[in-house]
Amino acid sequence: MSLKNTKTTTSGLDWNSMLGLLVRLKQEKNYRAYLLIATGCYFGLRIGDLLNLKWIDVFEKDEFILTEQKTGKKRKITINAFVKEALSFVAQSEITSGKFDIDGYLFQNRQHHRITVQFANLILHEVLKKYNVRVQNGSTHTLRKTFGKRVWEMDNKSERALVYLSEIFSHSSIATTKKYIGITEKQIADVYLKL
């Protein structure tokens, strides 16, 4: 946690570590953390937008459209097969226990209100600590950065990936996106040296 009115730098998770973490959370039936990390890392949304999602928005859907809180821009998210399976698995568990509400939030408290960003951070901190996951200043922002890092790496750390991410993240420039996902000048130089 950072002090009020100060900035801290958060890093993303290694993708394979994140996938391993999801397997463990699912096995231990920690479905809220499982779904929080899965949707956070696969959707790349800001935490406020993620916490506003309701089951009706995403359950048994191929895509959804949301209006970002921060920018007011409409964004279309395609739901990939892994997330569809995770949503279905958690929904089935909630249906079985009688807790499923199609109009309810994906992440809600006992009073059926959406959980707060602070509570989502607490969930994530506990998971990272319990499973000894190393990440710089781990927070819910780590999930969005994990998404960005993965997109960049999957496209061989290309400029094209940065253009995509700049659009997805609604950044004003590619330079902002580079800084956001932690790309250093050394890493960029290394890309050229490896050609």
Residue of 70, 110, 186, 194 with catalytic role:
70
CA distance 31 to 156: 32
Q: What's the pLDDT at 37?
A: 98
Q: What's the pLDDT at 81?
A: 97
| Strand ranges (E), 49-193 | 63-67, 74-78
Neighbours of 119 (CB within 10 A): 15
Q: What's the pLDDT at 179?
A: 83
Residue of 141, 145, 149, 178 with catalytic role:
141
Residues of the chain with pLDDT under 70: 1-8, 184-189, 191-192
- Does 194 qualify as catalytic in the annotation? no
CA distance 14 to 147: 10
Residue of 46, 75, 114, 145 with catalytic role:
46
- Does 70 qualify as catalytic in the annotation? yes
Q: What's the pLDDT at 194?
A: 74
- Does 180 qualify as catalytic in the annotation? yes
The contacts of residue 34 (CB under 8 Å, 6+ apart) are 22, 25, 26, 86, 90
On whether the CB atoms of residues 43 and 58 are closer than 8 A, the answer is no
Q: What's the pLDDT at 26?
A: 98
Q: What's the pLDDT at 1?
A: 46
Structure confidence by residue, pLDDT tens digits, 178-189: 888 877 666 666
Residue of 75, 144, 145, 149 with catalytic role:
144
The contacts of residue 48 (CB under 8 Å, 6+ apart) are 69, 70, 117
- Does 125 qualify as catalytic in the annotation? no
Residue of 42, 75, 150, 180 with catalytic role:
180
Q: Which H or E element spans position 150?
A: helix 141-154
First-to-last C-alpha distance (Å) of the chain: 40
CA distance 186 to 21: 30
- Does 144 qualify as catalytic in the annotation? yes
